[in-house]
Structures are given as C-alpha cells and as structure tokens.
Amino acid sequence: MQILPYQSKGVFDVQVAYFHKATEQFGARVKTCQMDGDSMQPTIEPYQIVAVADFGNEIKTEGIYAYSCFFWGKECLFIKRVIPLGGGALRIIHDNPHYLAFDLSPEEASQLTIHGKVVASMKVQRFA
C-alpha cells in the first residue's frame, strides 16, 4: 500500500504554514494522509491531516507510526502509537482508552510495511 499525497485545494492559512514549517526538516521524505477513525483520539482527531516521515521501514523508538498490513484479506493503513519491545516484537497502542493495546510477535511485526513516523498533524474542518 502506498500513502497517496493529500490533494490541497490551495487554501493557505497560518495553521498550514506552521504545518509545513514543522515538516520541512524532513524534505522529500514526508508524505501526508488523512486520519480515519477515532482510535488515536485525543492525540489525532478524525479527518486530521498527518505528516509521515520515512525512517527506513523500521521502528527503533517509541512514537506514532503509519504502517500497513493485510487485515481480513485486504491491505489496510493504520496510524498507531508503537513501542518496540525488543527482539522485533512491537506493542500497538491506541490513544483512545476505548481500545485495548496489543502485542505483535517478531514474526507478525515482520509482516508490516512501515511507512514512517508521524511528525505533525493539522486539523481539517469539514463543511459538507
């Protein structure tokens, strides 16, 4: 699965300027996508745009990551807090307390495609 670039409508405001300033240090290694779902609330709200910086398809430090894997027969993109447990195992945490954390074995973790670490987010207000 590939993270597709967010299509801008050309609207520019202070928040957008801050978003670009927060991500420019990563250069071309940054991609954006839109959060879907409430599992990362209150840290990342539904419909927020997140910037994902490529760190080489691996998770070495705790943080919020975008990754994809096959789930129920189709490839799905997830944005979750991840803690490396050592030996290649990972703990997946939802910031929303209504969802339980779970661990992935080294074998399960090796099946993930790590798109990168979330380095910024921006609120998007929907009117329709």
d(CA 41, CA 44): 5
pTM of this prediction? 0.76
Does some domain include residue 82?
yes
Residue 14 has pLDDT above 50, yes or no: no
**In CATH, what number is assigned to the domain containing residue 117?**
2.10.109.10
Does some domain include residue 88?
yes
Element (H, E) at 116: strand 113-122
Does some domain include residue 7?
no
For the chain, how many structural domains are there in total?
A: 1
Residue 8 has pLDDT above 60, yes or no: no
Does some domain include residue 9?
no
Does some domain include residue 64?
yes
Does some domain include residue 128?
no
55 CB neighbour count, 10 Å cutoff: 18
Does some domain include residue 71?
yes
* pLDDT tens column, 19-38: 455 555 555 577 888 888 99
pLDDT given for residue 124 in this prediction: 73
Q: Which domain, by its residues, includes 94?
A: 14-122
DSSP secondary structure letters along 24-92:
GGGGGGEEEEE--SSTTTTTS-TT-EEEEE--SS---SSEEEEEEEEETTEEEEEEEEEEEEETTEEEE
